[in-house]
Structures are given as structure tokens and as C-alpha cells.
């Protein structure tokens, strides 16, 4: 590592560069306007290729799942249990599973950059980007959309606690979901990993999604679901809504989003946006403090 990185006096020089560039990111008349740049380069919407899967194991959702089994049994033309007095319960050995696929993140182009701040070490830069703060006519909210599959296992039981042998059956509900985040921001941490004459190398090390709490102290996210296929549409619709909008469900959506934003590909994406914006502006205006600089993401 070049010795220049060990010198905190770099903080002032780096901060001057950041203060010169970041207002341009928020200027609609600039060719480096951040919302236009994100959209025109195909970063919004952004599709997630890997499925998001979690077991629905919180107490409230499990209770709702048990009620879904009762509804399925009541609506079934042929009662699934051999003896009518046997209860139809949630199989306690198999957790209900919710799998989200074809997930798409939208609205990240509706971005307004706060002032990036170079830390006292002269190496670390922290920048916050606010979403859903721009019009017109109304702020475009960040949304997470996709398909879902909800798997539920029910069985016959004499004691309402355990399954009778060979009575467990799987039921599947499929549909689409829409999670709307009215306001949010991301805090991005950059690290200058190489700084010397002719060289400036920046790596994005962390992205934190910030979502304020709404009513009841839960994350301010509104989720709607639409069941496309299920043995008992109403039972699965109730269960899906309970799962998505529960504290555990909202936390899981945020956790999955947070995990995605910190994958190598996503960090590279954030890094490329910053790289192209800063590098392009400094080059176009001949304002680079180094000769023949290299600004790259590693």
C-alpha cells in the first residue's frame, strides 16, 4: 500500500474533490444527474436472479397457517382425515416456506445525494443517498416486486399436536407480491485502496439500507399480495398477507434486500455508478488532481 494512504492529510484534498462533484449529481441540468444516469444505464429496475427463501416460523404466522389447514379441510369436498373427529392441523415437523422469485427492485433512480464525507483517516468515504424525495408530480417510491410460492403441510391429528402416520400433505399457493417503501436511503461506505500520483482506486465495501419505522414500530413497508393459484384461495391469501406483513416478514424482506445489496455484484454496481460519475466529471472538466488517473473498483 502506498505510504500516501497512511497520511490523514489526504482528507482535505479528497473532501475538496467530493465537494466539487456531488452538487452536480443533484443538478437536473447536468449530464451527470444521478437519477438520469441510473436509469439510462439500466440500473433501475434491477432484477435479482437468485430466489429469496425463508421458513415461516414466527408464532403468529404459524397460528395463521394452522387456521389455513382448518379452512382447507372445511372446504375440501372429501374431508382429508379418515375419521371425521380427527383434526386437520399444521404439520409441526415441516415449517411453512415462502419463496420469492423474479424479484425486481425499482425506484432507486429517484435518488438525491447528500454530501459525501471523507473520514479522518483520509481513506474512508461515507455517502448517503435518499430515495423517494423527488417528484414530479409525486415521489416515486422504492418497490420490491416478484412472484411467490407458499408451501404448507397439513395432517390429520388425534391430539391436535402430532400427525397421524402417512397423513401429511403439501399444499401450494402461488401469486405475486408488491412491497412499497415510501421513504428510504442507503448509506454507502467507500474505501480508497490506492492513492498515489496518477492513481486513485476506490472500492465500495458496504451498503446499508435505511427504512424508517411506521405504525407499531414496524418497518414502514406496505405489502400487497395477489394469489394466482391455490387449493383454497382465501386461506392462502390470509396466510400470505399475514406472513408478508408480520414483523418477521418485514424484517425478512429487509434482510434479504440488505444481503442482496452487499453481494459482490451489487457492490460492483454501486461502485461502477460512483466511478463513472466522478471519473467522467473530473475528466470532462480537466479537474483531476493527478495525471492520467486510474479510478477503478476492486
pLDDT of residue 291: 41
pLDDT of residue 202: 74
Residues written for the chain: 298
pLDDT tens for 133-151 read 665 545 578 999 999 999 9
247 C-beta neighbours (distance < 10 Å), count: 14
- Does 7 score more than 70 pLDDT? no
Q: How far is CA 211 from CA 128, 156, 249, 258, in A?
A: 13, 42, 15, 11
Mean pLDDT estimate for the chain? 83
**Cα angle value 53/190/183 (rounded, 5°):** 55
Q: Within a 13 Å sphere around the CA of 10, how many CA atoms are in the beta-carbon half?
A: 22
- Does 1 score more than 60 pLDDT? no
Under 8 Å between Cβ of 221 and 253: yes
**Percent of the chain residues topping a pLDDT of 70:** 84
Q: Is the peptide bond before 136 cis (omega within 30 degrees of 0)?
A: yes
Which of 25-29, 194-198, 201-205 has the lowest average pLDDT?
Answer: 194-198
Q: Is the peptide bond before 137 cis (omega within 30 degrees of 0)?
A: yes
Q: What is the DSSP letter of 31?
A: T
- Does 101 score more than 80 pLDDT? yes
Our measurement of the distance from residue 89's CA atom to the centroid of its chain's CA atoms, rounded to an integer in Å, reads 34
Q: How confident is the model over 24-53, as a mean pLDDT?
A: 86
pLDDT of residue 292: 38
pTM: 0.82
Q: What is the DSSP letter of 159?
A: S
Under 8 Å between Cβ of 142 and 107: yes
pLDDT of residue 298: 36
pLDDT of residue 133: 67
How would residue 177 be classed by pLDDT, with cut points 50, 70 and 90? very high
Which of 16-25, 80-89, 132-141, 241-250 has the lowest average pLDDT?
Answer: 132-141
How would residue 3 be classed by pLDDT, with cut points 50, 70 and 90? very low
**Percent of the chain residues topping a pLDDT of 90:** 36
- Does 254 score more than 50 pLDDT? yes
- Does 223 score more than 90 pLDDT? yes
Q: Give strand ranges (E) for 107-198.
A: 111-113, 117-118, 124-131, 142-157, 169-181, 184-196
Residue 201 or 90, more confident: 90
Amino acid at each position: 500500500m502506498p505510504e500516501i494512504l497512511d497520511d490523514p492529510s489526504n482528507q482535505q484534498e479528497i473532501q475538496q474533490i467530493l465537494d466539487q462533484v456531488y452538487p452536480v449529481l443533484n443538478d437536473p441540468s447536468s449530464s451527470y444527474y444521478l437519477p438520469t444516469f441510473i436509469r439510462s444505464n439500466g440500473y433501475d429496475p434491477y432484477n435479482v436472479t437468485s430466489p429469496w427463501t425463508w421458513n415461516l416460523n414466527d408464532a403468529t404466522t404459524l397460528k395463521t397457517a394452522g387456521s389455513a389447514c382448518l379452512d382447507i379441510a372445511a372446504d375440501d369436498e372429501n374431508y382429508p382425515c379418515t375419521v371425521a373427529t380427527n383434526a386437520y392441523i399444521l404439520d409441526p415437523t415441516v415449517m411453512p416456506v415462502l419463496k420469492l422469485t423474479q424479484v425486481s427492485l425499482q425506484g432507486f433512480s429517484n435518488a438525491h445525494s447528500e454530501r459525501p464525507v471523507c473520514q479522518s483517516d483520509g481513506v474512508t468515504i461515507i455517502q448517503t443517498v435518499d430515495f423517494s424525495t423527488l417528484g414530479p408530480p409525486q415521489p416515486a417510491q422504492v418497490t420490491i416486486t416478484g412472484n411467490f410460492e407458499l408451501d404448507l403441510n397439513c395432517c390429520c391429528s388425534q391430539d391436535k399436536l402430532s400427525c397421524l402416520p402417512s397423513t401429511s400433505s403439501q399444499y401450494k399457493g402461488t401469486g405475486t407480491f408488491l412491497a412499497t417503501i415510501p421513504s428510504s436511503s442507503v448509506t454507502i461506505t467507500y474505501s480508497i485502496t490506492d492513492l498515489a500520483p496518477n492513481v486513485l482506486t476506490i472500492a465500495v465495501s458496504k451498503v446499508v439500507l435505511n427504512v424508517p419505522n411506521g405504525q407499531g414500530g414496524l418497518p414502514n413497508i406496505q405489502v400487497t399480495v395477489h394469489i394466482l393459484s391455490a387449493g383454497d384461495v382465501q386461506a392462502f391469501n390470509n396466510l400470505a398477507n399475514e406472513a408478508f406483513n408480520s414483523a418477521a416478514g418485514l424484517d425478512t424482506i429487509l434482510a434479504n434486500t440488505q444481503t442482496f445489496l452487499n453481494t459482490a455484484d451489487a457492490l460492483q454496481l454501486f461502485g461502477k455508478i460512483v466511478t463513472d460519475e466522478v471519473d467522467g466529471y473530473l475528466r470532462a472538466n480537466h479537474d483531476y488532481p493527478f495525471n492520467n488517473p486510474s479510478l477503478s473498483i476492486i
